[in-house]
Amino acid sequence: MGRPSFLFLEETLPMSATSVQTIRDDFPILRQKTASGAPIVYLDNAASTQHPWSVLKKMESVYTDRYANVHRGIHFLSEHCTEAYEQARETLTDFLGAQFSSEVLFTSGTTMGANLVAHSWGDKNIKAGDEILISEMEHHSNSVPWFQLAKRKGAAVKVIPLDDKGDLNLNAYKEFLNEKTKLVAITAASNVLGSYNDLETIVLLAHRADAVVFIDAAQWAPHQPLNVQKLGIDFLAFSGHKMLGPTAIGILYGKQTHLEEMPPFLGGGSMVKTVTNRGFEVAKLPEKFEAGTPPIVEAIGLAAAAEYLRQVGWDFIHAHLQNLTTRAHNALLAIEGLDLLGPADPIGKNSVLSFTLENVHPHDLAQILDQQGIAIRAGHHCAMPLHQRFGITSSARASFYIYNTAEEVDQLATGIRKAASLLR
C-alpha cells in the first residue's frame, strides 16, 4: 500500500510587480490601524521587515501538513520535511550565487554567523601579533566578535576610518593592509548611513595581502542581488528577518575550502558521523556546523522570502527604493534644523535615512511620530562608534522597503515638522 500524499498550501506571489499596492496586499499586518485609528506607516525596515502571505502560509503548511524532525527519521513526515528543509538550502544557494549547497549554513542570524567564524576559523588561524581590520561604520555584531577574538589570541583590531561624508576611506584601508593582516571584516552597507561599500575592491585588496574577508550583508541581502563567487568572498552572513523572512534564522556562507579546515563550533547531535566512548568523528558539511535540531520551519520560511523577492524582481526593488529614498532625502533636507547622516547624494544610497533634529531628542521624536502611526527607530542602532565619529550619541532613522509608498514618505516629513513644532 502506497503512502498517502499531502496537499500543501499554495503561495500567492505577485506575478508582476508593477504596483506597490499589489505588493502591499500581500502583507496582512499593513491592514492594521493604531489605537487612534490611523493606518500604520512602518518605516523601521532596517531593524526588521514585515512578512508576506507566501512566507506565512509556507511556514503554516509545514507545521500543519508535514512537520517532523529532519535527517534522522525514516518515516513519511520526516522524509518530506527533510526534503523541504534541504530544498530551502538549495534555494538560498542560488540566492547567494554559491557554488555548493554545502557552503550554505543555517544560523540564527548575522550575529551567529560572525561568532561562528570568529570562534572556529579565528581561534584556529589568528595568533598573537596578527591584525584584524574593521571599519567605523560596523554594526556591533561585526565588531564585538572580532574584539573578543583579538583579546583571546593577543591580536589587534584596527579600525578603518570614514571620511566626513560617511564613506569608507579606501586610502586608509590600503595603508592598513600589511603582512600582519589576517582578516578584513566589513559591512556591505551601513545600517545608519545607507552607504554601500565597494566590495569588489575591498575583497581584491584583502586577497592581495593574503587576508580572509568576512562580509556583513544584513543590509545588502534585502536590496541587492548577491554573487559570492563573482566577488570572491570568503565568508558572508545575513539575517532572514531583514528580508521578509522569520526571526532566528540566517545564513553563513563560507568557501568550502575554509569550512572543511575549520573545527566545528558547537558539539551535539547532527554534527557527528560517529560517537564512541573514546571520542567522535565529525560529520561532513554542512551538518558539521549545524549541531542540534535546526531551525527547520524558519529555514523553509527564509527560502520562501528569497523566492518572493526573486519574483518581485531586483530591478523593481532597486527602482522603487531609489525613488522613495530620493523623495525622502529631499523632503527631510527641506526641514529646518534637520541634519542627515551619510552621503549627500541619495542616488545609489541604501533605503536608510538617519538624521538629527535640532533641539529634539530622537526618542522624543520617535514617540511623537508613533502617536501619528509612524514607526521609525531612535538610538545608536547598534553602531555606537559611528555616532561617536560624528559627535552625536544617537539619531533617528527611517528605513523603507518594497511595500512603502510615496504618500508614506510625505507623511513622515509632515510628522517630523509637527513633532518639531511641539517639542521645540
Q: Which residues are catalytic?
A: 382
| Secondary structure element (H or E) that encloses residue 158, with its range | strand 156-160
Q: What share of the chain is helix, strand, coil (3-state, %, to 5)?
A: 40, 15, 40
Nine cell digits for residue 379? 538610538
406 exposure class (CB count in 10 Å sphere: 0-12, 13-18, 19+): middle
Q: How far apart are CA 333 and CA 326, in angstroms?
A: 11
The helix/strand/coil state of 273 is strand
**What are the angstrom distances between the C-alpha of 169 and each of 216, 217, 228, 391, 416?**
18, 19, 23, 18, 32
Centre a 10 Å sphere on the Cβ of residue 172 and count the other Cβ atoms it contains: 17
Q: Which of 77, 84, 115 is nearest to 295 (CA)?
A: 84
CB 294 within 8 A of CB 106: yes
Nearest to 106 by CA among 120, 78, 83, 85: 85
Concatenating the DSSP letter of every residue in 58-101 gives HHHHIIIII----SS--SHHHHHHHHHHHHHHHHHHHHHT-S-G
Q: Identify any residues that bridge with 235 across adjacent strands, giving them in sequence order.
A: 214, 254
